[in-house]
Amino acid sequence: MATRNARPVSPAIADPGIAPLATLPGVGPALVASLGKLGLTRVQDLWFHLPLRYEDKTRITAIADLRAGERAQVEGVVEAVERGFRHRPQLKVAIGDASAQTLLLRFFHFNRAQAEQLVRGTRLLCYGEVRHAAQGLEMVHPSYQRLGGSEASVVDEQLSPVYPTTEGLGQKRLVAVIGKALALLPPAGQLELIPPALCRTHGLTSLRDALLYVHRPPPDAHLGQLLLGRHPAQQRLAFEELLTQHLGLKRLRAVVRQRRAPVLGAPRQLHRQLLRALPFRLTAAQQRVSEEVARDLAQAQPMLRLVQGDVGSGKTVVAALATLAAVHAGYQTALMAPTELLAEQHLRNFRQWLQPLGIEVEWLAGKVTGKTRRQALARVADGAAVVIGTHALMQEGVAFARLGLVIVDEQHRFGVQQRLALHEKGRQDRLVPHQLVLTATPIPRTLAMSAYADLDVSSIDELPPGRTPVQTIAVSNARRAEVIERIHAACAEGRQVYWVCTLIEESEQLRAQAAEVAHAELCAALEGFAVGLIHGRMKAKDKQAVMDAFKAGELAVLVATTVIEVGVDVPNASLMVIENSERLGLAQLHQLRGRVGRGAVASNCVLLYQPPLGQLARERLQVMRETSDGFRIAEKDLELRGPGEVLGTRQTGQLAFRIADLSRDAHLLPAVQAVGERMLAEFPDQTSRLIERWIGGAARFADA
């Protein structure tokens, strides 16, 4: 959750929401510190700190009516108590009720006083999750209260919210402080920031009513809807959160587009020279996207374009053609990739393509140190035409003479902040560089509409001719010997093989074969064939030596970790085996599979899995077997994993939604876009306050 900085509000608007939490009665420095760990610093932060789930303590369920897997409240009398120490201390309490059934309460953490209170004949009101046990049903560590002999049990009048919390801050105290904040909710008209006409047009209910409902649902609330996030009150809040992110990114785009960028005309002669030298012809999709990029570069407004394309679709050539426009106009290009392996792949391609045209390509990565680094920095500051590297391009001390184009590969590994950091290095003479963002992870339309609202999107939706479909099968690890026999046959035919492991070292806990163990196993089983090993902990030069040997055909098999996910191109490799494939996400499996099928020979991908498979893993492997369409896989990945994982929440810094879920709430996005356009054009003040309410300090990106 983003850190929020209070912002002055018009004196005409009394806004209790921006008041610090210390202004609430009974909230002292210790509680302020605990709430701060949750990113809560102002009263309105508590309004939007919503429950994770709800407990239904509005009724009492007879023990005979309990069902395993459900949470319920029961009232019963203690019939027996047993303390055991066989494996670890535990307290077992059997209770019964008028239904003549018994329920076991099991406690592993208890003190002596607690055990002495739970004696035969004690009446208890308990709430917890019901589970199957050896002798019947049980609850483990239920919440409970003791009732006096004639004391009537009192049920709650509304569903009980359970909030995200932190160490040292109990639910009871958090519920109390949120209650104090809710008492300060202003009237509906004052709280609402979406103009009334837009609310009516799109059927949006009152924000005030929605907040009060989700914090204090009535006894007759549809618990199933609430738990799934589909209740109209939750959908109203999800709409506003999605709208806010959309507005923030659109405003960021508007700010950047207001600036001036160098006009980079199409260098037709250089383009013709490069295209003639390529060993392939551009696809129609590559030509179309290249023209879209060229039109952007020829404008005095900064280009903000995302080029997405499946593995092997040819995004790098599009980037190289854009680079020629910058070089021709006397400007520098910086290309940033997330890993040294991928950056080095770009370096080799660009040098191969551009050096024959008299264009030098500079290399700047973290491993470039000492005198070599100082010399590289001097050349960059002096105007080196093309600079390729990793995060090192954003570091202090890296200065560009005339940066006209920034290319960021695998955008989701960096995020908006890091992309803008490199962009800022190009600010000069009131000009900012153009931005071209590449991704080999096809982006579902719902993500493109929200997470990339600050970018125009181009799609290379066509693979080059000659690429063969990859046949994919899922095989249990019990048939490992058969898979190794298949590898032997492929090597005997002169083909090369990838064997991908998910860990470097052995781990009993994860039961994943380590790359080093697999390497030793394959060396022994494939006598007469050279087997290489590459993983992320090797030195860069050693990794490169292994990759070069594999590309040259000196190695028949390459055992690797997922370090080969991107940036590796060996057309003769026609078989890939992915160990413990059930542990990887769909996008990563698809990226890995894209390393084969790059030549004219039919290729295969074997997904080795460790049974038994969970439902999620089974679905992922089934999708991989059924399709090689990167866009369909991306949509399914979003559905199964959620947007934070698909894009990398920590990197983007913007998809840690509190309420919204892009896969669940995709139907809201067309209305979000429509409302967003009107608000940006006609209601700038409400737009600013909405961004401040939900994003707070993260709105600083709009000033970048």
pLDDT in tens, 89-109: 889 999 999 888 999 999 988
The pLDDT, as a whole number, for residue 697 is 46
Q: What is the mean pLDDT of residues 236-260?
A: 87
pLDDT band at residue 473 under the 50/70/90 scheme: very high
What's the token pair of residue 252?
């960021």
pLDDT in tens, 351-370: 999 999 999 999 998 777 88
Considering the domain 61-155, what is its CATH architecture?
Answer: Beta Barrel (2.40)
* Contact of 286 with 460, CB cutoff 8 Å: yes
pLDDT in tens, 486-521: 999 999 999 999 999 876 555 544 444 578 889 999
| DSSP alpha helix (H) spans, 382-514 | 416-424, 445-450, 480-492
Domain 263-460 fold is Rossmann fold (3.40.50)
pLDDT in tens, 137-149: 999 999 898 988 7
pLDDT of 635 > 80? The answer is no
The pLDDT, as a whole number, for residue 647 is 40
The rounded mean pLDDT for the chain is 84
User: Distance between CA atoms of 273 and 281, rounded to whole angstroms?
Assistant: 13
pLDDT in tens, 5-23: 434 434 334 578 889 999 9
The pLDDT, as a whole number, for residue 6 is 39
Strands 434-439 and 304-309: parallel
**How far apart are the two ends of the chain, measured CA to CA in Å?**
20
What's the token pair of residue 101?
């059934």
The pLDDT, as a whole number, for residue 1 is 37
Q: Which residue has better confidence, 134 or 9?
A: 134
| Cα separations in angstroms, 62 against 66, 301, 541 | 7, 69, 69
pLDDT of 418 > 80? The answer is no
Q: Whole-structure pTM over 0.75, yes or no?
A: no
User: Distance between CA atoms of 268 and 272, rounded to whole angstroms?
Assistant: 6
Q: What is the mean pLDDT of residues 614-622?
A: 88
pLDDT of 555 > 50? The answer is yes
Same fold: 61-155 with 470-627? no
pLDDT of 595 > 50? The answer is yes
User: Distance between CA atoms of 130 and 522, rounded to whole angstroms?
Assistant: 48
CA 79 remoteness from chain centre: 50
pLDDT in tens, 146-164: 988 777 788 888 888 999 9
pLDDT of 631 > 80? The answer is no
What's the token pair of residue 380?
């960059």
SS3 576: strand
pLDDT of 589 > 90? The answer is no
Q: What is the mean pLDDT of residues 183-201?
A: 94
pLDDT band at residue 261 under the 50/70/90 scheme: very high
- In the DSSP assignment, the letter for residue 186 is P
Domain ranges of the chain: 61-155, 263-460, 470-627
User: Distance between CA atoms of 700 and 704, rounded to whole angstroms?
Assistant: 7
> Which of 370-379, 402-411, 479-488, 559-568 has the lowest average pLDDT?
559-568
Q: What is the mean pLDDT of residues 638-663?
A: 57
What's the token pair of residue 639?
């559905």
CATH 3.40.50.300 at 470-627, yes or no: yes
SS3 79: strand
φ, ψ for residue 504 (rounded to 5)? -85, -40
- What number of CA atoms fall less than 13 Å from residue 458's CA on the CB side? 26
CB atoms within 10 A of CB 100: 9
pLDDT band at residue 420 under the 50/70/90 scheme: low
User: Distance between CA atoms of 658 and 164, rounded to whole angstroms?
Assistant: 10
